[in-house]
Structure 1
Amino acid sequence: MGANVFRHSLDHVRNLGILAHVDAGKTTVTERMLFLTGMTHKTGEVHDGTTVTDFDPQERERGITIFAAAVACEWNDHHFTVIDTPGHVDFSDEVERSLRVLDGAVAVFDAVAGVEPQSESVWRRADRYGVPRIAFVNKMDRVGADFTAAVESIRDRLHPVALPVQLPMGVEDGFTGVVDLVRLRALTWVAGALCVGPIPEQLAEVARKARFELEEAVAERHSGALEEFYAHSGLSDATLASALRALTLMGEAVVVLCGAAYRDIGVESLLDAVVDYLPSPLDRPPVRGSGFESAADPAEPLAALVFKVQATGTGRLTFVRVYAGTLVKGAQLRDTGSGRMERIGRILRVQADRHEELEQAVAGQIVAVIGPKQARAGATLCAPESSVLLEPPVVTEPVMSVALEARTSAETERLTTALARMADEDPSLVVRTDPESGQTLLSGVGELHLEVAVEKIRRERGIAVTVGRPQVAYRETVLRGVSGFRYRYAKQNGGQGQFADLVIDVEPIAVDTERTDGAVDFEFRSTVVGGRVPAEYVRAVEAGCRDALADGPLGGHQVLGVRVTLTDGSTHPVDSSERSFRLGGRAALREALRGSEMALLEPLLELTVTAPEESVGAILGDIAARRGRVLDSVIRGSTVVVTATAPLAEVFGYATRLRSRTQGRGTFTSRPLGYDRAPSR
Structure 2
Amino acid sequence: MRTLNLGILAHVDAGKTSLTERLLYAAGVIDEIGSVDAGSTQTDSLALERQRGITIKSAVVAFTVGDTAVNLIDTPGHPDFIAEVERVLSVLDGAVLVVSAVEGVQAQTRVLMRTLRRLRIPTLIFVNKLDRAGADLDAVVGQLRVRLTPRIVPLGAAVRPGGKDAAFRPFTAADDGFGARLVDVLADGDDALLADYVDDPAGVSHRRLLRSLARQSRRADVHPVFAGSAITGAGVEELTAGIVSLLPSTSDDGDGGAEGPPSGTVFKVERGPAGEKIAYVRMVAGTLRTRDRLVAGKVTALSVFDGGGARPGPEVTAGRIAKVWGLGAVRIGDTIGATAGTNGDAAAHHFAPPTLETVVVPRHVRERGALHAALAQLAEQDPLIDLRQDDLRQEVSVSLYGEVQKEVVQATLASEYGIDVDFRESTTICVERLLGSGEAIELITDDTNPFLAGVGLRVEPAPVRSGVTFRLAIELGSLPPAFLRAIEETVRETLHQGLAGWDVPDCRVTLTWSQYYPRQSHAHGTFDKSMSSTAGDFRLLTPLVLMTALTRAGTRVHEPIHRFELELPADTLGQVLPALARLRAVPGTPSPSPAAAGAYVLEGDLPAAHAHELQQQLPALTRGEGVLETRFDRYQPVAGPPPDRPRTDHDPLHRDEYLLHVVRRV
Same fold per TM (> 0.5)? yes
Q: CA RMSD in A?
A: 4.1
Contiguous gaps of at least 5 residues in structure 2: 519-531, 642-666
Residue 661 of structure 2: aligned partner: none
Within the candidate set 502, 509, 515, 1:557 is matched to: 502
Residue 285 of structure 2: aligned partner: 324
Aligned letter for 1:323? V
Structure-2-length-normalised TM-score: 0.79
| Alignment check: 8 A CA contact 1:350 1:368 kept | no
Aligned letter for 1:553? L
Residue 398 of structure 2: aligned partner: 442
1:606 to partner: Cα distance: 4.4
Residue 134 of structure 1: aligned partner: 124
Within the candidate set 376, 379, 384, 1:428 is matched to: 384
1:14 to partner: Cα distance: 1.8
Tell me, what secondary structure is at the counterpart of 2:441? strand
1:174 to partner: Cα distance: 10
Within the candidate set 26, 46, 54, 1:64 is matched to: 54
Within the candidate set 251, 254, 258, 2:227 is matched to: 258
Q: Aligned partners of 1:327, 1:542: CA distance in 2, in Å? A: 35
Within the candidate set 189, 199, 209, 1:221 is matched to: 189
| Alignment check: 8 A CA contact 1:629 1:646 kept | yes
| Alignment check: 8 A CA contact 1:432 1:441 kept | yes
| Alignment check: 8 A CA contact 2:567 2:628 kept | yes
Q: Structure 1's 491 and 47: CA in aligned 2 closer, same or farther, altered over 3 A?
A: farther
| Alignment check: 8 A CA contact 2:126 2:228 kept | yes
162-171 or 247-256: which moved more? 162-171
Q: Structure 1's 666 and 23: CA in aligned 2 closer, same or farther, altered over 3 A?
A: farther
Q: Aligned partners of 2:336, 2:477: CA distance in 1, in Å? A: 42
Provide the aligned length of Structure 1 versus Structure 2.
617
Verify: 1:599 aligned to 2:560, yes or no. no
Verify: 1:367 aligned to 2:322, yes or no. yes
Aligned letter for 1:481? G
Q: Structure 1's 36 and 531: CA in aligned 2 closer, same or farther, altered over 3 A?
A: closer
| Alignment check: 8 A CA contact 1:547 1:586 kept | no
Residue 4 of structure 1: aligned partner: none
Q: Structure 1's 540 and 464: CA in aligned 2 closer, same or farther, altered over 3 A?
A: closer
Residue 93 of structure 2: aligned partner: 103
233-242 or 450-459: which moved more? 233-242
1:431 to partner: Cα distance: 1.4
Higher strand share: 1
Q: Aligned partners of 2:485, 2:315: CA distance in 1, in Å? A: 44
Residue 344 of structure 1: aligned partner: 300
1:588 to partner: Cα distance: 4.0
Residue 237 of structure 2: aligned partner: 268
Q: Aligned partners of 2:143, 2:323: CA distance in 1, in Å? A: 38
Q: Structure 1's 361 and 226: CA in aligned 2 closer, same or farther, altered over 3 A?
A: same
| Alignment check: 8 A CA contact 1:548 1:587 kept | no
Within the candidate set 631, 646, 650, 2:610 is matched to: 650
The residue correspondences of 1:191-202 to structure 2 (distance < 5 A) are none
Q: Structure 1's 562 and 319: CA in aligned 2 closer, same or farther, altered over 3 A?
A: closer
Cα deviation code 1:199-222 (max 9, x no counterpart): xxxxx6xx3212223135434423
| Alignment check: 8 A CA contact 1:475 1:557 kept | yes
| Alignment check: 8 A CA contact 2:451 2:541 kept | no
| Alignment check: 8 A CA contact 2:69 2:306 kept | no
Cα deviation code 1:493-518 (max 9, x no counterpart): 9999422345x464x5664xxxxxxx
Contiguous gaps of at least 5 residues in structure 1: 1-8, 185-203, 287-293, 512-518
Structure-1-length-normalised TM-score: 0.78
Residue 117 of structure 1: aligned partner: 107
Verify: 1:590 aligned to 2:583, yes or no. no
Q: Aligned partners of 1:325, 1:60: CA distance in 2, in Å? A: 37
Identical positions, percent:
30
Q: Structure 1's 30 and 366: CA in aligned 2 closer, same or farther, altered over 3 A?
A: same
Residue 244 of structure 1: aligned partner: 213
| Alignment check: 8 A CA contact 1:19 1:108 kept | yes
Aligned letter for 1:434? D
Residue 208 of structure 1: aligned partner: 176
Tell me, what secondary structure is at the counterpart of 1:274? helix
| Alignment check: 8 A CA contact 2:285 2:317 kept | yes
1:270 to partner: Cα distance: 0.7
Aligned letter for 1:349? F
Cα deviation code 1:619-654 (max 9, x no counterpart): 554443222344567484698876664323234566
Tell me, what secondary structure is at the counterpart of 1:101? coil
Q: Aligned partners of 2:407, 2:560: CA distance in 1, in Å? A: 19
1:457 to partner: Cα distance: 0.4
Q: Aligned partners of 1:311, 1:641: CA distance in 2, in Å? A: 46
Tell me, what secondary structure is at the counterpart of 2:268? strand
The residue correspondences of 1:637-676 to structure 2 (distance < 5 A) are 645-652=605-612, 657-658=617-618, 670-676=630-636
| Alignment check: 8 A CA contact 2:218 2:247 kept | yes
Residue 664 of structure 2: aligned partner: none
Residue 487 of structure 1: aligned partner: 441
1:18 to partner: Cα distance: 0.8
| Alignment check: 8 A CA contact 1:117 1:608 kept | no
Residue 525 of structure 2: aligned partner: none
Tell me, what secondary structure is at the counterpart of 1:53? coil
| Alignment check: 8 A CA contact 2:64 2:307 kept | no
Within the candidate set 577, 581, 592, 1:624 is matched to: 581
Q: Structure 1's 510 and 62: CA in aligned 2 closer, same or farther, altered over 3 A?
A: same
Q: Aligned partners of 2:517, 2:405: CA distance in 1, in Å? A: 53
| Alignment check: 8 A CA contact 1:14 1:80 kept | yes
Within the candidate set 30, 34, 37, 1:47 is matched to: 37
Q: Aligned partners of 2:639, 2:244: CA distance in 1, in Å? A: 54
Q: Structure 1's 55 and 630: CA in aligned 2 closer, same or farther, altered over 3 A?
A: farther
Cα deviation code 1:414-454 (max 9, x no counterpart): 22221111111111112122355331112223322232112
Aligned letter for 1:57? A
Within the candidate set 372, 376, 386, 2:331 is matched to: 376
| Alignment check: 8 A CA contact 1:137 1:256 kept | yes
Residue 499 of structure 1: aligned partner: 454
1:234 to partner: Cα distance: 3.9
1:488 to partner: Cα distance: 3.0
The residue correspondences of 1:16-95 to structure 2 (distance < 5 A) are 16-95=6-85
Q: Aligned partners of 2:550, 2:366: CA distance in 1, in Å? A: 42
Residue 417 of structure 2: aligned partner: 461
Tell me, what secondary structure is at the counterpart of 1:208? coil
Q: Structure 1's 525 and 147: CA in aligned 2 closer, same or farther, altered over 3 A?
A: farther
